Each structure stands twice: as C-alpha cells, then as structure tokens.
Amino acid sequence: MVLNLAVMVSGRGSNLEAIAQSIVDKRLDARIKLVIINNDEAKGIDVCKKYSLNYEIIEHKNLKRQDHEAKVIEKLKSHELNLIVLAGYMRVLTKDFLNSFKLDNCDLYPVINIHPSLLPAFPGSNAYEEAFNYGVKVSGITVHLVDEKVDNGLIIDQACFYRDNNDSLDDFKAKGLKVEHELYPKVLQDINKNGIYYQHKTYYLNQYI
C-alpha cells in the first residue's frame, strides 16, 4: 500500500527532506499529501518548494492554541490521510487535536514523532544539548506514536550513536541527525508494510483518518 502522509514542521525541515527524498528514491511507498508549517520563516518551506510539495503555512502567533489547532485540523481533514508525521513540529498537540484522528477500535493516535534522544531520557525541545551536557557516552533517536504528553507514547523504534571524548556539541548533533534521516523513512516504510504492534495485536494504517 502507499501511505498518505501529512508532515508537520516548525523549522529547518531536514527530516521532511529525508522523507521526501526516500519517496523519490522509492525506499518509502508514500505520498506527502500536505505539509503543515506553523512559522512563515521556517526553512522547511524551501524543502517544500524543492520537492514540489503541497504546503500550508498556519501561523500560531496571535492565535489561541485551540483556534490554531482548529485551523490545522480543518486543513488535515480536507485530505485523505493515513498518518500525521511530526518532523520537528515544536508544539504540543492537545488531547482534542489527537481525538480528532483516533484509530477505530484502538486507543492509539495515527500521529508519529521523531525525538533526538533515547526516550524516556531527555524529553523536550533541547534534547541534544541536555544529553550532551549530561555527559552521555551513548545517545540516540526515538520514533514514537504521539499522545497528549510531551515526547511520550508507544516507542516504535530507536537507534543509537556513540559520543567520542573529543566530540563537540556540533559533532554530537551531526551524528544524531544522520541517524534521524536514516531512521525516520525506514520506520515509516516498516509500519507501512508490517503495521504497528500494540498490546498483542497488529494495527495496519489502512484507514483514512
């Protein structure tokens, strides 16, 4: 099957690019139906242009969280989607948002996120810095389903990388980002083919949300 994705981005968009490129390379059977961007200065806009992706900028500035989410939900609902992919989307999604996209017969939301640490260590928006400053020797990347808590929810996959003694923070981030760009498309293809295993059952993302 071909997964219909919406990708949500706040900034640079390098994970969006990794996903778009993996579709071009036929490593991922998916279509990016829509990219939601919440910041009109996001570099992710250039990625959308480069790959001719359909995108919508829905600024959150000057809007109540609920009103911003209502606009995002309306846009997402105007497409036939199987999965919402957070790729550096730096806003917490409310339970109301998530409940708008609940899977039938299952208490999972078809919303997935990538986070640059081995969760549950170092949740939040500065995971690389916090892990580096803590002095970890091994760190990694987590892809997980989203729930109403920050960087929480069913872990789908993790991959690690090693820190050398002389690595700077930039070296550490560069190692992690390389892992992110390999892991996210691979996980998306894996759940496309093999579904999501949860509480002794496999759920396939074959319904529109």
**Catalytic residue annotation:** 115
For the bound state, the minimum distance from the C-beta of residue 78 to ligand GAR, rounded and expressed in Å, comes to: 24
Looking up tokens 């961007």 gives 37
Quick count: other Cβ atoms within 10 Å of Cβ 198?
Answer: 15
CA gap 83, 105 in Å, rounded: 16
Task: Measure Cα distances from 54 to 24, 35, 36, 48 in Å.
Answer: 15, 6, 9, 7
Q: Which is nearer to ligand GAR, 12 or 186 (CB)?
A: 12
Q: Which is nearer to ligand GAR, 106 or 138 (CB)?
A: 138
For the bound state, the minimum distance from the C-beta of residue 9 to ligand GAR, rounded and expressed in Å, comes to: 6
* Interface ranges with ligand GAR (CB under 6 A): 9, 11-15, 87-88, 114-116, 125, 127, 151, 180
Classify the phi-psi angles of 146: left when phi > 0, otherwise alpha if psi is within -120 to 50, otherwise beta.
beta
For the bound state, the minimum distance from the C-beta of residue 152 to ligand GAR, rounded and expressed in Å, comes to: 11
Residue 70: which H helix or E strand, with range? helix 65-77
Q: Which is nearer to ligand GAR, 116 or 140 (CB)?
A: 116
- Taking CB positions, which residue lies at the least distance from ligand GAR? 88
